[in-house]
Amino acid sequence: MVDYADILESIRQEVQPLLTQGKVADYIPPLAEVDPSQFAMAVRLVDGSEYSAGAADHAFSIQSVSKVFRLAQAMDIHGDDLWKRVGREASGTAFNSLLQLEADNGKPRNPMISSGALVVMDAILERGLADPGIVFIARCLDDEAVPFDAGVADAELATTHRNRALAHLLKAYGNLNNDPEAVIAAHTRESAVTLSCVELCRAATFLATRGETAGGQRVLATRQVKRLNAVMLTCGVYDEAGDYAYRVGLPAKSGVGGGVIAVMPGLLTVAVWSPGLNPRGNSLAGTKALELFTTMTGVSVF
């Protein structure tokens, strides 16, 4: 019998020396102000039991972890047609590369890099909802209100020249149906959603339960959940997917706020947060924590 509470506490202690070694994302100004020495981890089993260590109830900017929910929603709406507009191969280059989008003739390599996520947001905006991404995260939380940090959203909106460049390049290739600025605005708001590790584990539960929320609502078909987990494994952690599969061994999605969500289908979701990032943009202590978690529990898809 795995003692999750004990394991999480051991991990929290073991990663302490790493908390000062990462570098917080500074291209979104408010994220540069976050204290890098913070750490939180939470686990939620599919039977509903929850375990945590550190500041697991502290809400942080989920940033690109939101792309999991965005993709789930687009897969639900568009099914296989979505893949006409975005690929599903590992990128191997920086998450915000313009060069790769140009080389790929305007079809983003996958939905987890910035260009792909913009196409996915464009696809869900067709539903006509004001904040479709945030609305879907709320559904995953059984209709709880989902807060977002307007300061982070506004700061990103004012400085997001690279995403604007990607959106306009997509538009020039005919791979964006909405106005680039509307897509950027929705993208930025959804990225600024704030959730704690405990909430993130709960929101992502559908990935472990073949499509049902903690409260038993179906948000995605079982066959799509399998595919979404596969895309997370191959594309979810920027250009570090191979190393992550090797060290952690779970489908995962990270964000530049320092959060990571990982899933063991059929068993659990695990979320970790530590704002200091490694050179590839993944949480430095968070990655180590997930590696320790799968090593100590023996939980892995491999």
Residues at the contact surface with ligand GLU, assessed by CB under 6 A:
63-64, 95, 114, 156, 163, 191, 255-256
The closest residue (CB) to ligand GLU is 64
Question: For ligand GLU, which is the closer residue by CB, 84 or 161?
Answer: 161
User: How far from the centroid of its chain's Cα atoms is residue 56's Cα?
Assistant: 17
User: Distance between CA atoms of 106 and 184, rounded to whole angstroms?
Assistant: 17
Structural contact between residues 166 and 98, judged by C-beta atoms closer than 8 angstroms: yes
User: Distance between CA atoms of 162 and 177, rounded to whole angstroms?
Assistant: 19
Question: Closest approach of Cβ 144 to ligand GLU, in Å?
Answer: 22
Question: Closest approach of Cβ 156 to ligand GLU, in Å?
Answer: 6
Neighbours of 33 (CB within 10 A): 8
Q: Which residue's structure tokens are 């639900």?
A: 76
Question: For ligand GLU, which is the closer residue by CB, 114 or 213?
Answer: 114
Question: Closest approach of Cβ 255 to ligand GLU, in Å?
Answer: 4
Q: What does DSSP say about strands 268-273 and 259-264: parallel, antiparallel, or unpaired?
A: antiparallel
SS3 string, 97-158, reads: CHHHHHHCCCCCCCCCCHHHHHHHHHHHHCCCCCCHHHHHHHHHCCCCCCCECHHHHHHHHH
Question: Closest approach of Cβ 130 to ligand GLU, in Å?
Answer: 19
Question: Closest approach of Cβ 183 to ligand GLU, in Å?
Answer: 11
Question: For ligand GLU, which is the closer residue by CB, 11 or 25?
Answer: 25
Question: For ligand GLU, which is the closer residue by CB, 36 or 211?
Answer: 36
Question: Closest approach of Cβ 47 to ligand GLU, in Å?
Answer: 31
Question: For ligand GLU, which is the closer residue by CB, 170 or 299?
Answer: 170
Amino acid at site 186: A
Question: For ligand GLU, which is the closer residue by CB, 211 or 276?
Answer: 276
